[in-house]
A and B are shown apart, each in its own frame.
Chain A
Amino acid sequence: MNTFFKDKAGNDIFVLGLQTHNSSNGNRELLGKSIQAVRLFGGNTLETPIYWGKIEPEEGRYDLTSVEETILKVREAGLHLILLWFGFSKNAECTYLPEWAKRNPGRFRRAVAPDGSSIAVMSPHDDAVYEADARCFAHVLREIRRVDGDTGTVIAVQVENEVGLGLFATDRCYSKTAQRIFELGVPDELDGIELEDTGASGDGDSWFGRFGRHAHEAFTAYYLAKQVEKIAAAGKREYDIPLFMNTMVGETRQEIAGYSYSSGTPCGRVLEIWHRAAPSIDLFCPDVYQQHRSSFLRTCDRHARPWNALMIPESGIFGQAPAMNLLLAAVRFSAIGIAGFGAESALAPDGRLTDESKPVAYTYRALAMMAPILLRHRFSPRLFAVVQEEGQSYTYVQRAKYHLTIHFTSSPGRDHPGARGAGGGLRIDMSDPENQRQRDERGRVIVFEANDDEYFFSGVGCLAMFLRRADPLDRNPLSGYLSRTAGNLAVFTIEEGHFDDSGAWVCEYTLRGDELYNGVYARPGVVLRARLNPRAGEVVEG
């Protein structure tokens, strides 16, 4: 799918949320803490797991109370809910399996490593466990429909968690059954699918002939996808809401399946195989924990496809790196949702945000405030993000009618006439530690150019300055540029405000006079609107 999630009334939602820790659900106190964290981040969604082992403690006996409890609690808090189905797989292992399934390896087959040992993950080449998982999952979805079908608190369900064969252990199942299936060759269903850098000719029907050094990964991905599809289809029959899967990303270490990451997971390399083999899964979503930007962006890029919107169900919630990366992901890759992992950890014992979680919270607030724009103008070239690079004191963006420079107020070049003013004349008390903290944040801002002469900004640590571009035939362009009528005084007003629920602009405060000298100072909790004079700097003869 490549659209936004929707609420019951059919309104698009930009999902902005946090995920609780793995085993927190069912503990009311921890869930309450997570809800509080989402609120403080300015988010709208909680992600929390439900457990096969808990819901079906004995085969065929279902205890669905945790489903209803969770939904009611999150509904009461006024948030959206994404339930995570921890069934046969959690992080490419089978730890949340019910005990009765764990106890019966003769019925529920484990994958076999190349040395013949069995490993802690279910083989994709035997149906029993997937059928059992599907039966329970169907019950769960029926329960969600019963409790929530009319209300729509639950906006999506994640099917399993980071499926695949356990890292380092193996790249495929080497059981005799698996070998027989491997020798059947590539099914017709995968016709036309090519993987990068296989080293193989791509001809023939054998897995090696078609997918070369990625043969084992492709083989595992296909059969695992077929099994997961059964689970998803069984659930969807009961309740048709968006189903997605999260991935242990493949853009990591040496990018070797089974060695660098779990083999068979719906990662970038095999996304098309999954898309083909598991049509009941609406979205494949990377858990992006990479801190350094190039790697983070590469993972986003490999998942944002015409048929697959970027949704990040897990990410880091501490520090400057995710705070910058997530803002870029949301805007540059037109993400439809973002959630950080470990909601409870964002709170200090006194119930306030920890200092470490503030940077990501600032980013969330900027995204939340710009959500009406993100929803309405997804893919628009007039919507873009600027994020400070290391060592960068400002950045330059050329727009149709303006030279836009965005100065970073944390930079050592803070003595730039523009940046120096952060606070000065802006009725912001820079002796306040929270304001200093915001000034010293790594700069990041979402910019929306509503039209050539009107801009909206939300972010932190940035100061935007305008300079009207000269007409190509202007006989005296330099004087025009040096004239203050071409600079920030060319703006009519800078307004502080927000968008209301209908997406309409609400102005809370209008800046003029001294408050314009400094340009547009972006800080958390506010959207700034700059209205520029379309005739600024124009030379009128006579």
Chain B
Amino acid sequence: MNGWMKDHNGKERFVLGLQMHNSSSGTGELMDKGIEAVRLYGGNTLETPLYWYQIEPEEGRYELGMVETVIRRVRDAGLHLILLWFGCSKNAEYGYVPDWVKADPSRFRLAIGPDGAPRVNLSPHDDAAYDADARCFARVMREIRRLDEGFGTVIAVQVENEVGLAMKDTDRCYSRAAQRDFDLGVPQELDGVVLEDSGTDNRGTTWYERFGRHAHEAFTSWYLARQIDRIAAAGKKEYDIPFTMNTQVGEIRQRIAGMSYASGGPCGRALDIWMIAAPHIDLFCPDIYQQDESGYRETCGVHARPDNALFIPESAPMGILSAMNCLHAVADYGAVGICGFGAENTVDFTGRLTDAAVPVAESYRAIAALEPLIIRYRGSGRVRAVTQEEFQPYAYVKLPQYHMTVHFEFAFGGLPAKSPPIHHGRFTSLPNDLGLPEKLGEATSRGRMLYVEENEYEYYFSGIGCSLRFIRRSRPDDPNPHANQAVNEATELGFLAVEEGHFDSEGRFQVDFVRNGDEISRGIAVRCGTVVRVRMNPESFSDRDW
């Protein structure tokens, strides 16, 4: 799928949230902490798991109480909920399967490594475990439907968690049954699928001939995807809402399946195979923990495809690098949702955000503030991000009619820029109370912002640590461009209006405050917790020849 998730009224939402720690679900106190964290971040969604082993403690006996507990609690909080089905797989291991599955390896077959020893994964080449998982998942989906169909608190369900064969343990199942499957060769459904850098000419019918050095990964992906699709299909039959899967990303270490990351998961390299083999999964979503911008972007790039929107179900909820990267996910990769992992960790014992959480919370608030425009203009190129690169004092953006410079108020390391181009006196000339939680909105933050072009003369901004300067671009035939660009008429003083405000629930911009005078003459501050609309004067410089 390549679109937005929707609330019960069919309204599109940018999913902005946090995920609970793995085993926290169902614990009321911890859930409240997670919910509070989402509120402090300005988010709208909580992600939290459901566990097969808790729901089906004995085969065929279902205890669905936790589904109801979780849904009600999140509904009461006014948030959306994404439930994560921890069934046969969690981080490429089987940690959350019921005891009766673990205790019966001759019925529920484990994957076998190249050395003949079993691994902590259910083999994709035997149906029993997947059949059992599908039965329970169907019960869960029926229960969600019963509790929530009239409310739509649950906007999506994640099927399993980071499936695949355990890292460093094996790249495929080497059991005799698996070998028989392997010897059958590549199924026709995969005709036309080519994997990069396979080292082969992609012809022939054996897995090696077709996929070369990626043969074992492709083989595992196909059989695992077929199994997972049966689980998803069983669930969807009960309740048809969006299903996602999250991935242990493959753009990591040496990019070797089974060694650098779990083999067989729907990572970038195997995504084409998963798309074909698991049509009941709507979205394949990378868990992006890379901190470096190029690594983060590489993973975004391979998942944001015409047939698959970028949704990031897990990422680091802390630190300045995540805070900058997530804005690029929105602006440059058309993300439809972003969640940070470990909601409870972001709040300290007094109930305030931790210092480490603040930067990401600030970025989330910028995304939330511009949500209606992000939704309206997705894919149009009108939504852009500017983030302060290491050592960068300002950024230059050439707009159609304006030279825009984005001055970062604080230099690298949180110190005031050596010669700050613009002083705001800590915004003393602006109303200070934006209703932000404590700690948020300090101007010492690393500069970052989103901006949206409504038209060539009207822009919306939200972010932090940035000051904007505008100079009207000269007309190509201006006989006196230097003098014209140097006068204040060419700058923000020639604007119509600079307004602070917010979007209402209908997506209309509401002006809270009009800036003028000192508040714009030395640059336009972009600050946390508000949207700035800049409306320029298209007529500046007309009629000057008199």
Interface residues in chain A, defined as those with a beta carbon under 8 Å from any beta carbon in chain B: 114-115, 168, 170-172, 198-200, 208, 212-213, 216, 253-256, 258-259, 291-295, 321, 389-394, 396, 398, 403, 405, 467, 469-479, 481-482
Contact = CB atoms under 8 A, between A and B. Distances in A.
A292 B473 contact: no
A478 B197 CA distance: 17
Contacts of A291: 391-393
A181 B335 CA distance: 55
A479 B258 CA distance: 10
Contact of A256 (B212, B291, B485): B485
Contacts of B170: 478
Contact of A259 (B213, B321, B477, B482): B482
A254 B403 contact: yes
Given A291-B392, A476-B114, A482-B259, A216 B405 contact: no
Contacts of A481: 256, 259
B60 interface: no
Contacts of A295: 392
Given A292-B392, A398-B197, 16 more contacts: A171-B481, A172-B482, A200-B476, A200-B477, A213-B474, A216-B482, A254-B471, A255-B398, A256-B471, A391-B293, A392-B292, A394-B253, A398-B255, A470-B213, A473-B199, A478-B114
Contacts of B171: 477-478
A478 B482 CA distance: 65
Given A391-B293, A403-B254, A216 B481 contact: yes
B405 A403 contact: no
A467 B256 CA distance: 11
B475 interface: yes
Interface in B191-219: 197-200, 208, 212-213, 216
Contact of B254 (A393, A467, A475): A467
- Nearest 9 pairs of A and B residues by beta carbon: A472-B199, A212-B476, A199-B476, A472-B212, A391-B291, A292-B392, A392-B292, A254-B403, A403-B254
Interface in B402-418: 403, 405
Contact of B294 (A168, A389, A467): A389
Contacts of A199: 475-476
Contacts of A403: 254-256
Contact of A253 (B168, B295, B396, B477): B396
B486 interface: yes
B103 interface: no
Interface of B: 114-115, 168, 170-171, 197-200, 208, 212-213, 216, 253-256, 258-259, 291-295, 321, 389-394, 396, 398, 403, 405, 471, 473-483, 485-486
12 contacts: A200-B476, A213-B475, A213-B476, A253-B394, A255-B403, A293-B391, A294-B392, A390-B390, A398-B254, A469-B213, A470-B213, A477-B216
A373 B481 CA distance: 48
B291 A482 contact: no
A390 B323 CA distance: 13
Nearest to A389: B292
Contacts of B291: 391-393
Nearest to B115: A479
B208 A473 contact: yes
A168 B482 CA distance: 9
Contacts of B199: 471-473
A363 to B, nearest CB: 15
Contacts of B216: 477-478
Contacts of B258: 478
A424 to B, nearest CB: 21
B476 A198 contact: yes
Given A216-B481, A473-B208, A292 B389 contact: yes
Contacts of B212: 472-473
A243 B255 CA distance: 48
B254 A259 contact: no
Contact of A255 (B293, B396, B483): B396
A212 B481 CA distance: 10
A477 B219 CA distance: 14
B476 A390 contact: no
B332 to A, nearest CB: 14
Contacts of A292: 389-393
Contact of B259 (A171, A212, A392, A478): A478
Q: Of A171, A390, A471, which is in contact with the most chain B CB atoms at under 10 Å from its CB? A: A390
A75 B478 CA distance: 53
A114 B475 contact: no
Contacts of B293: 389-391
A430 B182 CA distance: 51
A52 to B, nearest CB: 29
Contact of A212 (B168, B213, B477, B486): B477
Nearest to B211: A472
A115 B200 CA distance: 70
Contact of B389 (A255, A293, A394): A293
A170 B483 CA distance: 8
A295 B477 CA distance: 29
Contacts of B259: 478, 481-482
Contacts of A321: 390-391
A302 to B, nearest CB: 14
A258 B482 CA distance: 7
Contact of B321 (A255, A390, A474): A390
A198 B477 CA distance: 10
A165 B259 CA distance: 60
Contact of B485 (A212, A259, A293, A396): A259
A396 B255 contact: yes
Given A256-B471, A472-B213, A473-B208, A392 B295 contact: yes
Contacts of A389: 292-294
A321 B199 CA distance: 39
B477 A208 contact: yes
A321 B208 CA distance: 46
Nearest to A172: B482
Nearest to A322: B391
A385 to B, nearest CB: 15
A536 to B, nearest CB: 15
Given A405-B253, A405-B254, A482-B259, A259 B292 contact: no
Contacts of A390: 292-293, 321, 390
A115 B114 contact: no
A68 B501 CA distance: 69
Contacts of A396: 253-255
Contacts of A216: 481-482
Given A254-B405, A321-B391, A390-B293, A259 B253 contact: no
A208 B254 contact: no
Nearest to A397: B254
Nearest to A391: B291
Nearest to A115: B483
Contact of B482 (A114, A474, A475, A482): A114
A479 B403 contact: no
B105 to A, nearest CB: 22
A170 B482 contact: yes
B501 to A, nearest CB: 28
Given A389-B294, A391-B293, A256 B253 contact: no
Nearest to B402: A254
A67 B321 CA distance: 52
Contacts of B393: 291-292
B292 to A, nearest CB: 4
Contacts of B389: 292-294
Contacts of B481: 171, 213, 216
A275 B227 CA distance: 65
A488 B255 CA distance: 18
A482 B291 CA distance: 27
B385 to A, nearest CB: 14
B486 A259 contact: yes
A287 B255 CA distance: 39
A305 to B, nearest CB: 23
A177 to B, nearest CB: 18
Contacts of B474: 213
